Structure 1
Amino acid sequence: MIYSDTEVSSRAELRAIQDGRLAETVAHAYENVPHYRDALDEANISPGDIGGVEDVSKLPFTTKEDFRDNYPDGMFAVPRAELARIHASSGTTGKPKIVGYTDSDLGIWREVMARSLSAAGVEPEHVVQNAYGYGLFTGGLGFHDGVEELGACVIPVGGGNTARQIDMLQDLESEVLSCTPSYCLYLAEAMEDRGIDPHDLALETVIIGAEPFTDPMREEIEEALGVTAVDVYGLSEIIGPGVSIECAEAQDGQHIWEDHFYPEVIDPETGEPLPEGEEGELVITSLTKEALPVLRYRTGDMTTLNYEKCACGRTMVRMGNVTGRADDLLIVRGVNVYPSQIEEVMIDLDAVAPHYRIDLTRDGQLDRMKISVEYHENFEDSPAELRDRIDSCLREILDVKPDELEVVEPGTLERTEVGKVKRVFDHR
């Protein structure tokens, strides 16, 4: 369902909106954020040089390091007295990135989340069970506010507490569930352990995000739960969830709400913009944020952009599934390896469960890679035979052979109830 007429604007109408908002954002950032004033001055760029999005490549990039260097609130463009809310990233790789919102920012967030939910097929009469974590993480409250803005009913279960999640799905007949893709599979396993058939639930849609996944993993989720799985995307630094989402009608790329977030795809090595359809690193510029305007933020996520009109009628650009992260690239004995390549092999094999881990170690000067993977409960051949099949498939897509490939029993590898699943353990 189309939530806002802006979603079906012509490209010319959308460009006019973007041009005006980009110029205002650059001026706002320059006047109120010392980091951006210094960065633009160093690049010999003034706000008057940015007439519209055709000039966006003149602007310097913003990186995670910029947020860390200006911790906690040096990137804010308004005084604390004007803030309505503060969130933060997880901080798993260092200091968390602190993000702030004015009342206007929260209104925009609610609106883009309501758009996203509507595109995913959520309707006002639906019950939405929100299994994203509440608190500093933007997922829980972002979804919560969007559901209420749409006019649907939200159950704020939050992350974890799997037994209660299942009880709520049964007793309150939730039609929609929002959570990470790995948690969807964890729920399916937990239901099986309790003798519950997920296909007997009222559940119709799961909205999954916060961690990368492949199409085969999505198919595994849809089959296990008997649902339509819709991919949502967002970053705390930009706003939280709601930057883009798939439409339920096509499930063919995620619509970026371009009137609020201007996207580019660049070569991660050179920083040069890439043509439509070429894979590169996603860069986003906020166009309407007050508290935390962000210019050309390097997300680290690898994707593509497609500007063709979607079958659903929306004209806003679609980003492809995130295939990996520029900073998640593994270099093993001089060879580039993305974890998503390995996952695609694992999920594509019927005999393999969607649970695996990669361990990287170093023996002297030599990198070593071990891959551990579970087999499905209904697998009847020997683990040795399955190991040979996996090894053969990996050889076809990877230029480096794993030093050790271990096939283990179902339930052996660690699961997670809360937060993002960890696949790669780099011990080097």
Structure 2
Amino acid sequence: MIWNEKIECASRDEMAAIQGERLKQTVQRIYHNIPSYRAKMQEIGMLPGDVRSIDDLKKLPFTNKTDLRDNYPFGMFTVPMSEIVRVHASSGTTGKPTVVGYTRNDLNMWADVVTRTLCMAGVSRNDIVQVAYGYGLFTGGLGMHYGTENLGATVIPISGGNTQKQIQLMQDFGTSVIACTPSYALFLSEVMSDMGIDPADLNLRVGIFGAEPWSESMRKEIEAKLKLKAIDIYGLSEVIGPGVSCECEHQVGMHINEDHFVPEIINPDTFEAVEPGEVGELVFSTVTKEGIPILRYRTRDLTRLIYDKCECGRTLVRMEKCKGRSDDMLIIRGVNVFPSQIETVLLEMSETEPHYLLMVEREGTLDVLKLMVEVQEQFFSDEIRQLEGLKKKIKHNIQSLLGISVDVKLVEPKTIERTAGKAKRVIDNRKI
């Protein structure tokens, strides 16, 4: 089912016209209400009237996470607080949290785009959707919640954690759709196994997973273990939360709701647009938000855009599954390394579990990459020769893919800490 066929199946010219009109209004709103962004425009000699179509978007200055933090808490809002009906914020683990505010119209729009993504995933009003994303300041839980209600499906607002209760409700309530992080989905499968529950005996048929990077290999792992179709959803609080884009049932890229969120792909070093179809950093401009509209926001996520019409009939541009983040990328002895590359190697091996931790240390003048990975129970043995052979195999496979050596430590199943939220995959102990 397509929720809004007129928009989701619009021609490129029709979409450009919609985006252009909305962009002009948004630039006016931002220029006259956000002093810091107005100063950026004045610095390059640009006025709101210089924006006449969507083609002029590339002339505008970028916005970074530091802009939101420098204007903490409400300096990026374009309406008075009397019009803000909800506030969300990031965790702030790397500095001040980024705060976002929503007007009533913003919340209605947010619910609508999440409803679109649910339809893309094959969810209907007949489904029972268990939302195991965190509720609270994190946008995941409430974003999925109101989109599900807007669709008319039944929502179970359980939030994250309390894993045995999650599984009990799946059994008792007949949950057909689970929404959570991919790493938590794998943890659910582990606990089900410990409880002697076969996922095939549940009603689960669709999983909507996001909030952290995950590979195609992990998708296959989740689908095999939970007996469902694993759909990738993308969002970030600075843009709206969940609902920015989502895969359809064909799983060939995430359809972007580009009448609200206009994407660009740039070279993160030169800031110039890349050639169509090339991988670069994803940049978003919101063209309908009232509370905190944002222009050319650098997400740091690396992907590419696909403009071909999808088999589902939607013409909305698609973004590939993110290959990593430009700021999460590890540079080890001159080699660019993404955790997802390590994950792909591990998931292609039958002996390891999809739970790992990367640690980067500086020993003398050299950077050393260390990998802690869980071994499947049947392969974990007291026989040193067998474990040494597995370590060599992992080291060889990573060396073959990335061209760097890694110090591997094998640990028993369930050694690495689990979390209902984003899995922590990297610890960088270098003082750079």
Specify the code of the residue in structure 2 equivalent to 1:172. Answer: F
> Could you tell me which residue of structure 2 aligns to residue 385 of structure 1?
389
Output aligned runs, 1:5-404, within 5 Å.
Answer: 5=5, 6-248=7-249, 250-379=250-379, 382-402=386-406, 404=407
CA distance in 1, matches of 2:186, 2:408: 23
CA distance in 1, matches of 2:29, 2:367: 48
* Offset at residue 40 of structure 1 (A): 0.6
Which segments of structure 1 move beyond 3 Å, counting only runs of 4 or more? 378-381
> Could you tell me which residue of structure 2 aligns to residue 414 of structure 1?
417
SS at match of 1:91: coil
CA distance in 2, matches of 1:256, 1:283: 12
Identity %: 54
* Offset at residue 130 of structure 1 (A): 0.5
CA distance in 1, matches of 2:364, 2:397: 29
Where does structure 2 lack aligned partners over 5 or more consecutive residues?
Answer: none
Specify the code of the residue in structure 2 equivalent to 1:48. Answer: G
CA distance in 1, matches of 2:335, 2:393: 22
Specify the code of the residue in structure 2 equivalent to 1:76. Answer: F
SS at match of 2:377: coil
SS at match of 2:379: coil
CA distance in 1, matches of 2:204, 2:123: 12
Go from structure 1 to structure 2 and tell me whether the alpha carbon gap of 1:425 and 1:380 turns closer, same or farther (over 3 Å shift).
closer
Specify the code of the residue in structure 2 equivalent to 1:310. Answer: C
CA distance in 2, matches of 1:383, 1:353: 14
* Offset at residue 334 of structure 1 (A): 2.8
CA distance in 2, matches of 1:266, 1:16: 22
> Could you tell me which residue of structure 2 aligns to residue 425 of structure 1?
427
Specify the code of the residue in structure 1 equivalent to 2:231. Answer: V
* Offset at residue 376 of structure 1 (A): 2.0
* Offset at residue 260 of structure 1 (A): 0.3
Between 173-182 and 358-367, report the one with greater CA deviation.
358-367
* Offset at residue 350 of structure 1 (A): 2.0
SS at match of 2:298: strand
CA distance in 1, matches of 2:410, 2:309: 44
CA distance in 2, matches of 1:338, 1:269: 17
CA distance in 2, matches of 1:337, 1:371: 13
CA distance in 2, matches of 1:104, 1:323: 33
* Offset at residue 419 of structure 1 (A): 1.6
* Offset at residue 151 of structure 1 (A): 0.4
* Offset at residue 377 of structure 1 (A): 2.8
| Conservation of the 8 A alpha-carbon contact between 2:346 and 2:354 | yes
CA distance in 1, matches of 2:92, 2:118: 27
Go from structure 1 to structure 2 and tell me whether the alpha carbon gap of 1:113 and 1:352 turns closer, same or farther (over 3 Å shift).
same
Specify the code of the residue in structure 1 equivalent to 2:389. Answer: E
CA distance in 2, matches of 1:83, 1:169: 36
Specify the code of the residue in structure 1 equivalent to 2:69. Answer: R
| Conservation of the 8 A alpha-carbon contact between 2:380 and 2:412 | no
* Offset at residue 380 of structure 1 (A): 7.5
Between 387-396 and 312-321, report the one with greater CA deviation.
387-396
* RMSD over aligned Cα atoms: 1.1
* Offset at residue 364 of structure 1 (A): 2.7
* Offset at residue 314 of structure 1 (A): 0.3
Question: TM-score normalised to the size of structure 1?
Answer: 0.98
* Offset at residue 210 of structure 1 (A): 0.2
* Offset at residue 100 of structure 1 (A): 0.2
CA distance in 2, matches of 1:257, 1:175: 25
Matched, 1:405 2:405: no
Question: TM-score normalised to the size of structure 2?
Answer: 0.97
SS at match of 2:125: coil
CA distance in 1, matches of 2:380, 2:374: 13
CA distance in 2, matches of 1:346, 1:272: 35
SS at match of 1:217: helix
CA distance in 2, matches of 1:119, 1:156: 21
Specify the code of the residue in structure 1 equivalent to 2:184. Answer: Y
SS at match of 2:398: helix
* Offset at residue 363 of structure 1 (A): 1.9
Where does structure 1 lack aligned partners over 5 or more consecutive residues?
Answer: none
How many residue pairs match? The answer is 425
Specify the code of the residue in structure 2 equivalent to 1:157. Answer: I
